[in-house]
Amino acid sequence: MKLARRYGKLHLGGAYKVITALNSFHGRTLAMTAATGQRKFQEPYTPLPDGFVNVEYNNVDAIKKVTAPDVCAVMLEPIQGEGGVNIPGENYLREVRAWCDKKGLLLILDEIQTGICRIGTLFGYEQFGVEPDIITLAKGLGGGIPIGAFLAKEKASVFAQGEHGSTFGGNPLACAAGYATLKFILENDIPSKVKRSGTYLTAQLNKLKAKYDFITEVRGRGLLAAIQFNSDLTDRIVKSCMEQGLLLNPVKPNAIRFMPPLIVTRKEIDEAIGILDKALAEA
């Protein structure tokens, strides 16, 4: 956000607002609470910092409608993770990219969840035919060691020395973990493995959908998947799975998210599906 604001000051006449999507999730700092388009994360902290406009996801016209001279960037998740694994239409990101180019806005992709192979390519954007000007990364980047990073194209690399810093930024431990993680991922072709195990996971979830009519949808790309129910069954099912040793993520009262380790095996997926099947049967 600071980089986008610097860009706005330097190149867009002081424009500072960032358009983000409803149902998004961008983190828990105060500014990112305002960027995150979900009331439940915002309400406890109002009044929120100025400078964010939340509009409907997967709707380029909604972005066009709120684009004004004070807007400097659009920030989106290539797939909304925390919002329930919402996969946009085929052309959405391409259309947003074209709009940003037309209006001179930066396109920021928050790949903290979709990046580092989670959806089967090193970066999620590779699957949508666009390149962002700024990308955020974390989660998978350190293989469990806390690390966050953002990358910017030359055009958007507008920080002058001293304009940004962080106590732990660039610390050797986290950077060594990030380096080792990426080396392992690239040397062991983890993207292909994630594509294969993701296809398997989604197929197994679809078998459960065929078995239980209260499962209304299975959504997924790579190893980021969700099942949706026709009522608020999440808590009961997640609790029952947890009691049997399977940790699932209750993203919505009626949707569960699956984010297994990138090195998950078929045997482990089978074990998880077996536990889930039992929990669904008792739901």
Ligand X SMILES: Cc1ncc(COP(=O)(O)O)c(C=O)c1O
- Interface residue list for ligand X (CB under 6 A): 25-29, 32, 77, 81-82, 110, 112-113
Closer to ligand X by CB, 51 or 84: give it. 84
Q: What is the C-alpha to C-alpha distance for residues 209 and 22, in angstroms, rounded to an integer?
A: 27
Q: Please report how close the Cβ of residue 80 comes to ligand X at its closest, in angstroms.
A: 8
Closer to ligand X by CB, 110 or 133: give it. 110
| 74, 76, 82, 88: CA torsion to nearest 10 | 130
Catalytic choice (25, 41, 123, 150): 25
DSSP string, 73-137: EEEE-SSBTTTT-BPPPTTHHHHHHHHHHHHT-EEEEE-TTTTTTTTSSSSGGGGGT---SEEEE
Residues 68 and 13: beta-carbon distance below 8 Å: no
Closer to ligand X by CB, 136 or 181: give it. 136
Tokens encoding 216? 């209304």
- H/E element, 150: strand 149-152
Closer to ligand X by CB, 56 or 271: give it. 56
Residue nearest to ligand X (CB): 27
Q: Please report how close the Cβ of residue 36 comes to ligand X at its closest, in angstroms.
A: 8
Q: Please report how close the Cβ of residue 280 comes to ligand X at its closest, in angstroms.
A: 26
Catalytic choice (17, 123, 128, 139): 139
Closer to ligand X by CB, 21 or 280: give it. 21
Q: What is the C-alpha to C-alpha distance for residues 46 and 38, in angstroms, rounded to an integer?
A: 13
Q: Which amino acid is at 237?
A: I
Catalytic choice (52, 110, 150, 258): 110
25 is catalytic: yes
Strands (E), 11-93: 17-21, 52-55, 71-76
232 is catalytic: no
| 236, 238, 244, 248: CA torsion to nearest 10 | 170
270 is catalytic: no
Half-sphere exposure of 230 (CA within 13 A, CB side): 6
Closer to ligand X by CB, 27 or 250: give it. 27
Q: Please report how close the Cβ of residue 142 comes to ligand X at its closest, in angstroms.
A: 12
Q: What is the C-alpha to C-alpha distance for residues 140 and 151, in angstroms, rounded to an integer?
A: 15
Q: How far is CA 262 from CA 120, 166, 214, 268, 281, in A?
A: 9, 29, 29, 12, 28
* Residue numbers annotated as active site: 25, 110, 139
